[in-house]
Chains A and B, each alone.
Chain A
Amino acid sequence: MADIPAIARSLLFADVPSVSDPRSNKHDILQAVYEDNLHATTRAPQPRRTHRPVRQAPKSALPSPWRMAPVVLLAVVGVLLIGLITLNLQPEPPAPRSQASLRLADSPRLTPVAEPSARFDVPDLDRLPIAELFNLQVNTIVIDPGHGGRDPGALGPAGGQEKDITLDVALRLRDRLARRHGARVLMTRETDVEVALGERVAFANENDADLFVSLHVNSIPDASVAPLETYYFGLRADDQTLRLAHGENGAANYSVAEFNTMLQRAGNTVKFQESRHLAMSVQQSLVETVRQTNAEASDWGVKAGPFVVLLGVEAPAILAEMAAISNPDEEARLDTDAHRESLARSLEEGIAAYLQHRPLTNAPTLIPTHDGEEDH
């Protein structure tokens, strides 16, 4: 490195009692670097190449799908299983030397897992839902009714509260999924209580959630529109989404460091991809249903947004803004059993459609039924 200014150097060592002789320090450090690198050398050194390897055709840079498939799949299954096993956001006892007031991010500890013994053909990663891809059954669906307790969420002009609607629709959705599909359905809250986002995340992960669906109701400045939108986690977001995320993240009690650790763990593109597919399926279903009662409802589509609750959950996770309570007509409709039931039905159908994305060879746990159960 170029010289640092003399001032900086004097500062560097001025009022600092030197613990040990810097020269021996340096030798120790070099030795440590050497040992660290020696440690990492597992292969016998290969003869050095002086010429660039001959490339037959540019395409050869692309691994063939046949060669890649097992690697990708094992990685994906590994990530999935590791995710199900290890994500643990509970506070650790403070490290001995740290100040008690600051909690430290625990470094990701990934426990090695046994290689899964799933059978693989060469699947089309773009088209198959993850559950089917790995013959994993979707056993547990966690439904997360937004807000609760002291946190009412969005408020309607006539006094309707987001927290009540999300809970009621969630209970209906739970019954539908459990009754009609035999899924294990868990709720992050079943009553009007306050639950921190971190607890919701921990709950989903501890209970081995296979899917996570967070329910919300929007409120937007323009009371005349009735938008529907569904989110999956992503950092790229427009400003409006950021504002929404800010609101929905309000109760998060993560430190930046914890958030950051989660971000690093989230290098799981399959989860993102699956979350997006799930979001698309649910959004489509919501729009179809809601348009039956309100032809004016606008489809704001599927979007990525930095919602803490979506990031922390290891399973595919979405957040649906299933109505806008700022619209007086919508608020009135949201107050009816019929509309709440039809929202629950459309969510159910969206989830089921995602799970049966393709004609099945192995029957999954969930098969959508259209047995004409009465909604109204």
Chain B
Amino acid sequence: MAKKTTKSTTKSTAPLHIGIDLGTSRSAVVASNGKRTWVESYVAWPKDFVAKKMLGEAILFGEHAVENRMSVELVRPLENGVIRDGTERDEEAVRELIHHLIEQVEPKEGQRIQAAVGVPAEALKVNKLAIRDAVQEYADALMVVSEPFAVAYGLDALSNAMVIDIGAGTVDFCVMHGTMPTEEDQRTLTMAGDFVDRQLQGLLAERHPEAKFSEVAVRHFKEQHGYVGSANGKLEMKTAVGGKALNVDVSKELKEACEAIIPAIAETAIELIARYEPDFQEVLRKNIYLAGGGSQIKGIAEAIEDALKEYGPCRVHTVDDPLFAGAEGALALAQDMPEEFWEDM
């Protein structure tokens, strides 16, 4: 089980442990001093001198950044799960985001910072060094791990479990079998939350061509009402047609869009599980954990369970606190990490 942040008052000489989940759409931070917060993974720089004066800041984060999209240069640094090749600006944005997150948990002046950072599995593979460099500037010691591994660590599911982290840009799969997962134990699907949004927007545009649904409105609606499986009556979305307000029942489209990712998730899970010995396959099927924002789609655990049933008995659980599961796991790892290991980093 993950250590709770029970340490009462830390002496100012004690290091501050920080767990960070660096996500495509959201990033969260949790620290051993009990502070925790999250921010949308947007970084923005004012476009010019005037914008900078107007905004009063040289750099903006999260919602604040998005709200001012007209006057800033807006970057979502891990847009596709990785830092794009050769984009110094994205690297800079990662650096700034990390710095911002660390500031949010208010380390004491001169306090040693030991951070564990979970990043999308694909980014770990492709951008490990860039991410290390980005964090290194602001932490005294640092461990970078893959996001689903951080979640698994936080669940204490170190062996006999599979974590499926349903994010915005990717769904990351990770099998834990008592060792640190290697590439072999992980898979990444690029059909995730953003795909559901696009799907839903497309369906709505097709079936209600007269109405307009913005990307943001569609995403928010999905986050509030997203479901799979049996419907629960009407779900109406507000829109306007020719200036007239109109309520449109979108329950069918919402279900269809949310369900669109399930076959791929189930198939990838099965393929990954099939890599292991038959006995272990059975065990894995019973210990599947859903994490990430997309795991909050109502009924998704049952639907995945259903899709996997034909391969044998299985159980799919959803983690309690998807928004912070990764950051909490990273913090647990940071706190469990022996001091002598930290000293080397």
Residues of A within 8 A of B (CB): 1-5, 8, 11-13, 15-16, 18-20, 22, 25-34, 36-38, 40-43, 45-46, 48-49, 52, 55, 57-59, 61-63, 68, 71-72, 75, 95, 97-99, 102, 104-105, 107, 235-239, 242, 255-257, 260, 263-264, 267
Contacts and interface: CB of A to CB of B under 8 A. Distances in A.
Contacts of B49: 57-58
A4 B2 CA distance: 10
B interface, by DSSP: helix, strand, loop or mixed?
mixed
B341 A19 contact: no
A102 B58 contact: no
Given A32-B180, A42-B129, A264-B188, A26 B158 contact: yes
Given A30-B338, A48-B113, A58 B58 contact: yes
B329 interface: yes
A34 B344 contact: yes
20 contacts: A1-B151, A3-B1, A4-B156, A11-B286, A15-B286, A16-B160, A18-B159, A29-B178, A30-B333, A30-B336, A33-B337, A58-B51, A63-B89, A97-B277, A98-B274, A104-B271, A235-B198, A256-B264, A256-B268, A267-B82
Given A34-B143, A72-B86, A8 B317 contact: yes
Contact of B263 (A20, A22, A256): A256
Given A33-B337, A58-B47, A264-B188, A257 B268 contact: yes
A33 B333 contact: yes
Contact of A105 (B89, B137, B271, B341): B271
Given A40-B144, A49-B137, A257 B45 contact: no
Contact of A1 (B88, B155, B189): B155
Contact of B328 (A2, A11, A18): A2
Contacts of B1: 3
Interface string B89-123: 10010001001000000000000010000000010
Given A40-B129, A257-B268, A99 B274 contact: yes
Given A242-B202, A255-B271, 11 more contacts: A1-B329, A25-B179, A27-B338, A28-B178, A29-B180, A30-B341, A48-B139, A61-B89, A98-B275, A255-B267, A256-B271
Given A30-B333, A38-B344, A95 B58 contact: no
B336 A2 contact: no
A115 B320 CA distance: 49
A270 B101 CA distance: 34
A29 B191 CA distance: 30
Given A30-B337, A30-B338, A32-B179, A95 B137 contact: no
Interface residues of B, number: 94
A18 B274 CA distance: 20
Nearest to B329: A1
Nearest to A68: B86
A174 B304 CA distance: 48
A31 B341 contact: yes
Contacts of A2: 319-321, 324-325, 328
A239 B201 CA distance: 11
Contacts of A236: 198
Contacts of A58: 45-49, 51-52, 58, 73
B216 interface: no
B45 A61 contact: yes
Contacts of B153: 1, 29
Contact of B137 (A29, A37, A46, A260): A46
Interface in B187-218: 187-191, 195, 198, 202-203, 205-206
Given A34-B341, A40-B128, A107 B183 contact: yes
A310 B187 CA distance: 23
Nearest to A14: B286
A12 B48 contact: no
A71 B89 CA distance: 13
B187 A239 contact: no
A59 B73 CA distance: 9
Contacts of B271: 102, 104-105, 255-257
A197 B132 CA distance: 41
Contacts of A57: 49
Contacts of A32: 179-180
Contact of A46 (B136, B198, B286): B136
Contacts of B190: 260, 263-264
Given A2-B328, A37-B144, A68-B86, A239 B180 contact: no
Interface string B51-73: 11000001100000000000001
A25 B89 contact: no
Interface in B247-269: 263-264, 267-268
A235 to B, nearest CB: 8
A26 B336 contact: yes
